[in-house]
């Protein structure tokens, strides 16, 4: 499968990235199939080869999350709603399910043994 991902280059702590098409099994900084753009997170500079990106997307290339956000900002793909879960609420609901599943006698024993 072909992935659209970021390839890191630049000096230490001054990273820049190239947007590349590569096989999903290849290394991050390995030889890409094609270079499709550039992204500098320090200056927020982004250059995209829109024609080549459209061709790769039509061939079924899958962008990573970081690349997807760059393509959404560039207007090449539609924004998709992100599903987020509030971890605090899920933990509370799970703990309430566990507490409600115990019989009343066990709850009373737990309270007396903890004191």
Output the pLDDT for position 115: 47
d(CA 57, CA 54): 5
CB contact at 8 A, 101 and 79: no
Structural domain that includes position 38: 2-74
Contacts of 49 (CB under 8 A, 6+ apart): 35, 36, 37
For residue 92, is it within any domain? Answer: no
Q: Is 25 helix (H, G, I), strand (E, B) or coil?
A: coil
Q: Measured between alpha carbons, how far is 1 from 14 in angstroms, rounded to an integer?
A: 30
Q: Has residue 26 been placed in a domain?
A: yes
Q: pTM to 2 decimals?
A: 0.64
Give the chain's domain count: 1
- pLDDT, averaged per 10 consecutive residues of the chain (115 residues), comes to 89 91 83 89 91 90 90 84 70 65 56 53
Q: Would you say residue 56 lies in a domain?
A: yes
């Amino acid at each position: 499968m072909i992935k659209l991902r970021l390839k890191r280059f630049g000096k230490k702590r001054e990273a820049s990235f190239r947007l590349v098409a590569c096989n999903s099994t290849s290394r991050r900084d390995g030889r890409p199939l094609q270079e499709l753009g550039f992204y500098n997170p320090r200056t927020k500079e982004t250059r995209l080869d829109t024609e080549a990106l459209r061709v790769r997307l039509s061939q079924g290339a899958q962008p990573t999350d970081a690349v997807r956000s760059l393509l959404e900002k560039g207007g090449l793909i539609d924004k998709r709603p992100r599903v987020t879960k509030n971890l605090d609420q899920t933990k509370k609901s799970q703990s309430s399910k566990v507490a409600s599943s115990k019989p009343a006698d066990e709850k009373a024993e737990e309270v007396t043994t903890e004191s």
